[in-house]
Amino acid sequence: MINFDAFVTYLEDRRKNIAFFIKQNELISIEEIEKLRILYKEYDKYELDNCFEKTELKGSTFLVEAKCERCKLVIKKEIPKTKLIEYLKEGKKQFRYEHICKDCKNREEENEKKERIEYWKNREEDKNKNTIIFIKELFNNESKWSKDNDNYYNKIFYAEVDDEKIESYIKEEYSTKAKYQLFLQTPYWRHIAHEKRKKEGFKCELCGSNESLNVHHKNNYEDFGKEKRNIKKLVLLCHECHQKQHNILVFE
């Protein structure tokens, strides 16, 4: 029969006499870390875990030496106990996350800042160039337009351009009734109108007719110039519904 009283006495005595050798407030050098890694390969991992100082506080950390990943300078870092033990057990070349000294971190942040500034500067320059090309190509009435030309679709809906500049150009260039008729012949408008017809299934949005269909601006042309951004605010109407709804709307 098992003598449980003696069993419990043994366990209690063992609990009281377990010593720890690795304290939280003592610096663990790089050399000591390497020796610990060897011990974790040779001895019981659970017993080795008990050699770390225990604390009731959650998120306890240990002070260790580590080499900066950039300049290899030896720095001091606080590492959570769980991460430190995990590193020792798994034998990785470095801790899970990189260690970077303050100087290297400042240099990297400064370089990243410069790169961001340069990136946005170049992006803005490209945007302005794209806008000029957009206006030159899509408002050229001499250009041959084709509904099957994907190049128009990509340029209108995906090219990174300055939409406000394009809107201003349209309003300035096609501000009269006569010029508006020229606007209706531009590759820009013809392709947008074609996309609107496709979207509505080539049927009048009011009566469903597929005869004499035309794309029109809503709200007395408040969105004139914003077509590429607000294609939903255009309306596809047959000639009859257009006359009823807009009382033979005349561009002003």
Lowest average pLDDT, out of 24-28, 81-85, 150-154, 211-215, goes to 150-154
- The dihedral over CA atoms of 129, 134, 137, 139, expressed in degrees to the nearest 10, equals -130
Q: Report the distance separating Cα 64 and Cα 78, nearest Å.
A: 6
What proportion of the chain, given as a percentage, has pLDDT over 90?
A: 34
pLDDT of residue 183: 93
Asked whether residue 252 carries a pLDDT value surpassing 70, the answer given is no
Model pLDDT for residues 93-150, shown as the tens digit of each residue: 555 446 788 899 899 999 999 999 999 999 999 999 999 999 998 998 877 777 777 6
> pTM value?
0.58
Burial 94-109 (b: 16+ CB within 10 A, else e): ebeeebbbeebeeeee
DSSP 99: -
pLDDT of residue 92: 61
pLDDT of residue 14: 67
pLDDT of residue 251: 39
pLDDT of residue 246: 61
pLDDT of residue 55: 73
pLDDT of residue 250: 40
Asked whether residue 223 carries a pLDDT value surpassing 80, the answer given is yes
Average the pLDDT over 6-25 and give the result: 76
Q: What is the mean pLDDT of the chain?
A: 84
What's the pLDDT band for 237 if we cut at 50, 70, 90?
Answer: very high
Q: In terms of Cα–Cα distance, which of 189, 182, 197, 179 is closest to 145?
A: 189
What's the pLDDT band for 213 if we cut at 50, 70, 90?
Answer: very high
Type of residue found at 144: K
185 contacts: CB under 8 Å, gap ≥ 6? 141
Asked whether residue 18 carries a pLDDT value surpassing 60, the answer given is yes
Phi, psi dihedrals of residue 93, rounded to the nearest 5°: -70, -30
Model pLDDT for residues 19-47, shown as the tens digit of each residue: 678 888 889 998 998 888 888 888 888 88
Type of residue found at 151: N
Asked whether residue 228 carries a pLDDT value surpassing 50, the answer given is yes
> In the chain, which ranges are continuous DSSP H helix?
4-17, 30-42, 45-49, 81-90, 102-138, 150-157, 163-173, 177-183, 187-199, 239-246
Half-sphere exposure of 228 (CA within 13 A, CB side): 25
pLDDT of residue 42: 86
Q: Which of 159-163, 221-225, 241-245, 247-251 has the highest mean pLDDT?
A: 159-163
Q: Report the distance separating Cα 8 and Cα 18, nearest Å.
A: 15
